[in-house]
Protein backbone atom coordinates (compact mmCIF):
# COMPACT_ATOMS: atom_id res chain seq x y z
CA UNK A 1 0.00 0.00 0.00
CA UNK A 2 1.49 3.34 -1.10
CA UNK A 3 1.48 6.06 1.55
CA UNK A 4 -0.67 9.05 0.59
CA UNK A 5 2.21 11.53 0.83
CA UNK A 6 4.12 9.57 -1.83
CA UNK A 7 1.22 9.46 -4.28
CA UNK A 8 1.74 12.89 -5.96
CA UNK A 9 5.44 12.26 -6.68
CA UNK A 10 4.68 8.79 -8.05
CA UNK A 11 2.04 10.33 -10.32
CA UNK A 12 4.62 12.90 -11.47
CA UNK A 13 7.21 10.25 -12.32
CA UNK A 14 4.58 8.16 -14.08
CA UNK A 15 3.41 11.19 -16.07
CA UNK A 16 6.98 11.94 -17.15
CA UNK A 17 7.48 8.36 -18.37
CA UNK A 18 4.14 8.37 -20.24
CA UNK A 19 4.86 11.69 -21.98
CA UNK A 20 8.40 10.61 -22.86
CA UNK A 21 7.27 7.27 -24.29
CA UNK A 22 4.50 9.02 -26.27
CA UNK A 23 7.12 11.30 -27.78
CA UNK A 24 9.40 8.36 -28.51
CA UNK A 25 6.64 6.51 -30.39
CA UNK A 26 5.56 9.58 -32.36
CA UNK A 27 8.85 11.25 -33.34
CA UNK A 28 11.99 9.81 -34.88
CA UNK A 29 15.09 10.53 -32.80
CA UNK A 30 13.10 11.41 -29.69
CA UNK A 31 14.11 8.27 -27.76
CA UNK A 32 17.71 9.19 -27.00
CA UNK A 33 19.88 10.16 -24.06
CA UNK A 34 20.63 13.52 -25.70
CA UNK A 35 16.95 14.50 -25.54
CA UNK A 36 17.05 13.96 -21.75
CA UNK A 37 20.34 15.85 -21.38
CA UNK A 38 18.97 18.69 -23.50
CA UNK A 39 16.08 18.99 -21.04
CA UNK A 40 18.63 19.54 -18.29
CA UNK A 41 20.81 21.88 -20.37
CA UNK A 42 17.89 24.13 -21.36
CA UNK A 43 16.29 24.13 -17.90
CA UNK A 44 19.29 24.08 -15.54
CA UNK A 45 18.57 27.62 -14.30
CA UNK A 46 14.87 26.79 -13.76
CA UNK A 47 15.78 23.64 -11.83
CA UNK A 48 18.03 25.60 -9.46
CA UNK A 49 15.36 28.25 -8.85
CA UNK A 50 12.65 25.59 -8.40
CA UNK A 51 14.74 23.79 -5.76
CA UNK A 52 14.79 26.97 -3.67
CA UNK A 53 11.07 27.42 -4.28
CA UNK A 54 10.45 23.86 -3.03
CA UNK A 55 11.80 24.74 0.41
CA UNK A 56 9.71 27.92 0.52
CA UNK A 57 6.47 26.14 -0.40
CA UNK A 58 7.21 23.21 1.94
CA UNK A 59 7.57 25.77 4.75
CA UNK A 60 4.11 27.12 3.93
CA UNK A 61 5.29 30.25 2.10
CA UNK A 62 5.68 31.55 -1.44
CA UNK A 63 8.39 33.54 -3.23
CA UNK A 64 7.34 35.66 -6.22
CA UNK A 65 10.67 37.49 -6.45
CA UNK A 66 12.76 34.68 -7.94
CA UNK A 67 12.37 35.62 -11.62
CA UNK A 68 13.22 39.26 -10.95
CA UNK A 69 16.23 38.20 -8.88
CA UNK A 70 17.47 36.12 -11.82
CA UNK A 71 17.17 39.19 -14.07
CA UNK A 72 18.87 41.43 -11.50
CA UNK A 73 21.72 38.93 -11.19
CA UNK A 74 22.26 38.95 -14.97
CA UNK A 75 22.25 42.77 -15.01
CA UNK A 76 24.67 43.10 -12.09
CA UNK A 77 26.97 40.43 -13.55
CA UNK A 78 26.99 41.98 -17.03
CA UNK A 79 27.56 45.52 -15.69
CA UNK A 80 30.40 44.56 -13.35
CA UNK A 81 32.07 42.36 -15.97
CA UNK A 82 31.82 45.24 -18.46
CA UNK A 83 33.55 47.49 -15.92
CA UNK A 84 36.44 45.04 -15.66
CA UNK A 85 35.59 43.17 -12.46
CA UNK A 86 36.90 39.57 -12.43
CA UNK A 87 34.26 36.78 -12.56
CA UNK A 88 35.64 35.22 -9.37
CA UNK A 89 34.61 38.40 -7.53
CA UNK A 90 31.37 39.06 -9.42
CA UNK A 91 29.82 35.61 -8.90
CA UNK A 92 30.25 35.43 -5.08
CA UNK A 93 29.05 39.05 -4.86
CA UNK A 94 25.77 38.43 -6.72
CA UNK A 95 25.20 35.23 -4.70
CA UNK A 96 25.65 37.24 -1.49
CA UNK A 97 23.23 39.92 -2.75
CA UNK A 98 20.62 37.27 -3.58
CA UNK A 99 20.99 35.71 -0.13
CA UNK A 100 20.76 39.11 1.58
CA UNK A 101 17.63 39.94 -0.44
CA UNK A 102 16.06 36.66 0.72
CA UNK A 103 17.09 37.35 4.32
CA UNK A 104 15.40 40.77 4.23
CA UNK A 105 12.13 39.33 2.89
CA UNK A 106 12.17 36.46 5.39
CA UNK A 107 12.77 38.85 8.30
CA UNK A 108 9.93 41.15 7.20
CA UNK A 109 7.57 38.19 6.75
CA UNK A 110 8.27 36.82 10.22
CA UNK A 111 8.83 39.85 12.46
CA UNK A 112 6.10 42.02 10.90
CA UNK A 113 3.75 39.06 10.42
CA UNK A 114 2.99 39.97 6.78
CA UNK A 115 1.81 37.45 4.19
CA UNK A 116 4.69 36.06 2.07
CA UNK A 117 2.68 36.78 -1.08
CA UNK A 118 2.68 40.54 -0.38
CA UNK A 119 6.31 40.78 0.76
CA UNK A 120 7.72 38.77 -2.14
CA UNK A 121 5.48 40.62 -4.60
CA UNK A 122 7.09 43.84 -3.39
CA UNK A 123 10.48 42.13 -3.72
CA UNK A 124 9.61 41.17 -7.29
CA UNK A 125 8.84 44.78 -8.25
CA UNK A 126 11.90 46.07 -6.40
CA UNK A 127 14.36 43.68 -8.05
CA UNK A 128 12.85 44.18 -11.51
CA UNK A 129 12.92 47.95 -11.06
CA UNK A 130 16.58 47.88 -10.03
CA UNK A 131 17.35 46.15 -13.33
CA UNK A 132 16.14 49.22 -15.22
CA UNK A 133 17.99 51.56 -12.87
CA UNK A 134 21.17 49.82 -14.02
CA UNK A 135 20.25 49.93 -17.72
CA UNK A 136 17.20 49.74 -19.98
CA UNK A 137 19.23 48.01 -22.69
CA UNK A 138 20.73 44.58 -23.11
CA UNK A 139 24.32 44.34 -21.85
CA UNK A 140 26.32 41.71 -23.74
CA UNK A 141 28.91 39.72 -21.81
CA UNK A 142 32.15 39.28 -23.75
CA UNK A 143 34.32 37.62 -21.15
CA UNK A 144 36.52 34.52 -21.77
CA UNK A 145 35.42 32.82 -18.52
CA UNK A 146 31.71 33.24 -19.24
CA UNK A 147 32.15 32.14 -22.87
CA UNK A 148 34.04 29.05 -21.75
CA UNK A 149 31.36 28.20 -19.19
CA UNK A 150 28.70 28.60 -21.88
CA UNK A 151 30.45 26.60 -24.60
CA UNK A 152 32.14 23.77 -22.68
CA UNK A 153 30.58 20.38 -23.41
CA UNK A 154 31.15 17.43 -21.08
CA UNK A 155 31.00 14.26 -23.15
CA UNK A 156 28.96 11.28 -21.95
CA UNK A 157 28.98 7.66 -23.17
CA UNK A 158 27.10 7.20 -26.44
CA UNK A 159 28.06 10.55 -27.92
CA UNK A 160 25.73 12.73 -25.82
CA UNK A 161 26.91 15.64 -23.69
CA UNK A 162 25.93 18.00 -20.88
CA UNK A 163 27.00 21.52 -19.95
CA UNK A 164 28.71 22.82 -16.83
CA UNK A 165 25.39 24.44 -15.88
CA UNK A 166 23.86 20.95 -15.63
CA UNK A 167 26.58 19.88 -13.19
CA UNK A 168 25.87 22.97 -11.08
CA UNK A 169 22.13 22.22 -11.10
CA UNK A 170 22.63 18.56 -10.16
CA UNK A 171 24.99 19.60 -7.34
CA UNK A 172 22.29 21.95 -6.02
CA UNK A 173 19.74 19.12 -6.18
CA UNK A 174 22.07 16.80 -4.25
CA UNK A 175 22.74 19.42 -1.56
CA UNK A 176 19.01 20.22 -1.32
CA UNK A 177 18.06 16.56 -0.85
CA UNK A 178 20.65 16.29 1.92
CA UNK A 179 19.39 19.48 3.58
CA UNK A 180 15.75 18.41 3.35
CA UNK A 181 16.08 14.90 4.72
CA UNK A 182 19.29 14.69 6.74
CA UNK A 183 19.61 17.99 8.60
CA UNK A 184 17.79 19.74 11.43
CA UNK A 185 17.05 22.65 9.09
CA UNK A 186 15.17 20.33 6.73
CA UNK A 187 13.14 18.74 9.53
CA UNK A 188 12.29 22.17 10.94
CA UNK A 189 11.17 23.34 7.49
CA UNK A 190 8.73 20.43 7.16
CA UNK A 191 7.47 21.02 10.72
CA UNK A 192 6.99 24.73 10.00
CA UNK A 193 4.95 23.94 6.89
CA UNK A 194 2.86 21.37 8.74
CA UNK A 195 1.83 23.82 11.45
CA UNK A 196 3.71 26.92 12.53
CA UNK A 197 1.85 27.03 15.82
CA UNK A 198 2.74 23.42 16.60
CA UNK A 199 6.37 24.09 15.66
CA UNK A 200 6.48 26.98 18.13
CA UNK A 201 4.90 24.84 20.87
CA UNK A 202 7.57 22.18 20.27
CA UNK A 203 10.25 24.81 20.82
CA UNK A 204 11.56 24.77 17.25
CA UNK A 205 13.45 27.86 16.00
CA UNK A 206 10.58 29.16 13.83
CA UNK A 207 12.08 32.60 13.15
CA UNK A 208 15.50 31.28 12.16
CA UNK A 209 14.03 28.52 10.00
CA UNK A 210 11.63 30.81 8.15
CA UNK A 211 14.35 33.38 7.44
CA UNK A 212 16.84 30.70 6.35
CA UNK A 213 14.26 29.28 3.93
CA UNK A 214 14.07 32.64 2.14
CA UNK A 215 17.84 33.06 2.32
CA UNK A 216 18.19 29.70 0.57
CA UNK A 217 15.60 30.69 -2.03
CA UNK A 218 17.40 33.99 -2.64
CA UNK A 219 20.71 32.16 -2.99
CA UNK A 220 19.19 29.67 -5.46
CA UNK A 221 17.63 32.54 -7.44
CA UNK A 222 20.97 34.31 -7.69
CA UNK A 223 22.74 31.06 -8.61
CA UNK A 224 20.05 30.42 -11.20
CA UNK A 225 20.78 33.93 -12.48
CA UNK A 226 24.48 33.09 -12.77
CA UNK A 227 23.66 29.95 -14.76
CA UNK A 228 21.17 31.94 -16.87
CA UNK A 229 23.99 34.42 -17.57
CA UNK A 230 26.13 31.52 -18.84
CA UNK A 231 23.18 30.45 -21.00
CA UNK A 232 22.36 33.88 -22.49
CA UNK A 233 25.76 35.65 -22.20
CA UNK A 234 23.91 38.90 -21.51
CA UNK A 235 22.11 40.91 -18.88
CA UNK A 236 18.65 42.33 -19.52
CA UNK A 237 15.81 43.63 -17.39
CA UNK A 238 13.29 41.45 -19.24
CA UNK A 239 15.17 38.21 -18.67
CA UNK A 240 13.23 35.51 -16.79
CA UNK A 241 9.85 37.27 -16.93
CA UNK A 242 7.31 34.79 -15.53
CA UNK A 243 10.02 32.41 -14.29
CA UNK A 244 8.53 32.52 -10.78
CA UNK A 245 5.31 31.02 -12.17
CA UNK A 246 7.22 28.29 -14.01
CA UNK A 247 9.08 27.47 -10.80
CA UNK A 248 5.86 27.28 -8.77
CA UNK A 249 4.27 25.12 -11.50
CA UNK A 250 7.25 22.73 -11.48
CA UNK A 251 7.11 22.43 -7.68
CA UNK A 252 3.36 21.77 -7.62
CA UNK A 253 3.51 19.30 -10.52
CA UNK A 254 6.39 17.68 -8.64
CA UNK A 255 3.98 16.81 -5.82
CA UNK A 256 4.67 19.51 -3.23
CA UNK A 257 1.53 20.63 -1.41
CA UNK A 258 0.80 24.35 -1.70
CA UNK A 259 -0.40 24.27 1.90
CA UNK A 260 3.09 23.21 3.03
CA UNK A 261 4.49 20.34 5.06
CA UNK A 262 4.74 17.81 2.20
CA UNK A 263 7.09 17.83 -0.77
CA UNK A 264 10.22 16.33 -2.27
CA UNK A 265 13.12 17.86 -4.18
CA UNK A 266 13.18 14.82 -6.46
CA UNK A 267 9.56 15.54 -7.39
CA UNK A 268 10.54 19.08 -8.35
CA UNK A 269 13.27 17.66 -10.61
CA UNK A 270 10.66 15.64 -12.50
CA UNK A 271 8.32 18.64 -12.50
CA UNK A 272 10.97 20.70 -14.30
CA UNK A 273 11.67 17.81 -16.70
CA UNK A 274 7.95 17.55 -17.54
CA UNK A 275 7.81 21.27 -18.37
CA UNK A 276 10.86 20.88 -20.59
CA UNK A 277 9.46 17.73 -22.17
CA UNK A 278 6.22 19.48 -23.13
CA UNK A 279 8.22 22.24 -24.85
CA UNK A 280 10.39 19.64 -26.60
CA UNK A 281 7.35 17.78 -27.97
CA UNK A 282 5.89 21.04 -29.27
CA UNK A 283 9.22 21.78 -30.99
CA UNK A 284 9.28 18.29 -32.54
CA UNK A 285 5.70 18.74 -33.74
CA UNK A 286 6.65 21.93 -35.51
CA UNK A 287 3.08 23.04 -36.27
CA UNK A 288 1.99 24.03 -32.76
CA UNK A 289 2.36 27.46 -31.20
CA UNK A 290 4.69 27.75 -28.21
CA UNK A 291 1.67 29.01 -26.23
CA UNK A 292 0.48 25.40 -26.11
CA UNK A 293 3.18 24.89 -23.50
CA UNK A 294 1.35 27.28 -21.16
CA UNK A 295 -2.00 25.64 -21.94
CA UNK A 296 -0.75 22.15 -21.12
CA UNK A 297 0.99 23.38 -17.94
CA UNK A 298 -2.25 25.06 -16.86
CA UNK A 299 -4.20 21.82 -17.35
CA UNK A 300 -1.57 19.85 -15.41
CA UNK A 301 -1.67 22.38 -12.56
CA UNK A 302 -5.44 22.06 -12.29
CA UNK A 303 -5.16 18.27 -12.21
CA UNK A 304 -2.44 18.21 -9.57
CA UNK A 305 -4.21 20.76 -7.37
CA UNK A 306 -7.37 18.64 -7.54
CA UNK A 307 -5.29 15.54 -6.72
CA UNK A 308 -3.80 17.31 -3.70
CA UNK A 309 -7.25 18.35 -2.54
CA UNK A 310 -8.61 14.81 -2.85
CA UNK A 311 -5.67 13.43 -0.86
CA UNK A 312 -6.14 16.06 1.89
CA UNK A 313 -9.89 15.41 2.15
CA UNK A 314 -9.39 11.65 2.41
CA UNK A 315 -6.64 12.11 4.99
CA UNK A 316 -8.92 14.36 7.07
CA UNK A 317 -11.75 11.80 6.91
CA UNK A 318 -9.38 9.00 7.92
CA UNK A 319 -8.24 11.01 10.97
CA UNK A 320 -11.84 11.76 11.91
CA UNK A 321 -12.65 8.05 11.85
The percentage of residues in the chain with a pLDDT greater than 90, rounded to a whole number, is 73
pLDDT per residue as tens digits for the range 146-184: 999 999 999 988 788 999 999 999 999 999 999 999 999
Q: What is the pLDDT of residues 205-221, one digit of tens each?
A: 999 999 999 999 999 99
Q: What 3-state DSSP class applies to 292?
A: helix
Query: Alpha-carbon torsion 217, 218, 219, 225, what sign?
Result: positive
Across the range 58-82, mean pLDDT stands at 96
Helix 66-82 vs helix 206-232: crossing angle, to nearest 10: 50
What phi, psi does 202 have (nearest 5°)? -80, -5
CA angle 260, 44, 234 (to 5 degrees): 120
Measure the CA–CA gap between 266 and 2, rounded to whole angstroms: 17
Read off φ and ψ for residue 311, nearest 5 degrees.
-65, -45
CATH 1.10.3470: does it fit domain 4-316?
yes
Instruction: Quote the CA–CA distance of 310 and 266 in Å, as a whole number.
Output: 22
DSSP state of 60: T
Please compute the mean of the pLDDT values over residues 137-151 and round it to a whole number.
94
Q: What's the mean pLDDT when you consider all of the chain?
A: 91
Read off φ and ψ for residue 162, nearest 5 degrees. -130, 170
81: confidence class by pLDDT, cuts 50, 70, 90: very high
pTM listed for this prediction: 0.94
Amino acid sequence: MVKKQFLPILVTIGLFLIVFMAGAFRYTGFFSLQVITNLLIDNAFLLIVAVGMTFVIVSGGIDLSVGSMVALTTMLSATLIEQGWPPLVVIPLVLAIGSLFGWAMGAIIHYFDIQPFIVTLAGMFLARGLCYVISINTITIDNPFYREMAQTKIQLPGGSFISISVLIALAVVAVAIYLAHYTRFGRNTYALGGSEQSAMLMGLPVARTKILVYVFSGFCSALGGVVFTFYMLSGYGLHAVGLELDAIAAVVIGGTLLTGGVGYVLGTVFGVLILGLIQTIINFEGTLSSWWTKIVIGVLLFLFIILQRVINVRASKAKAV
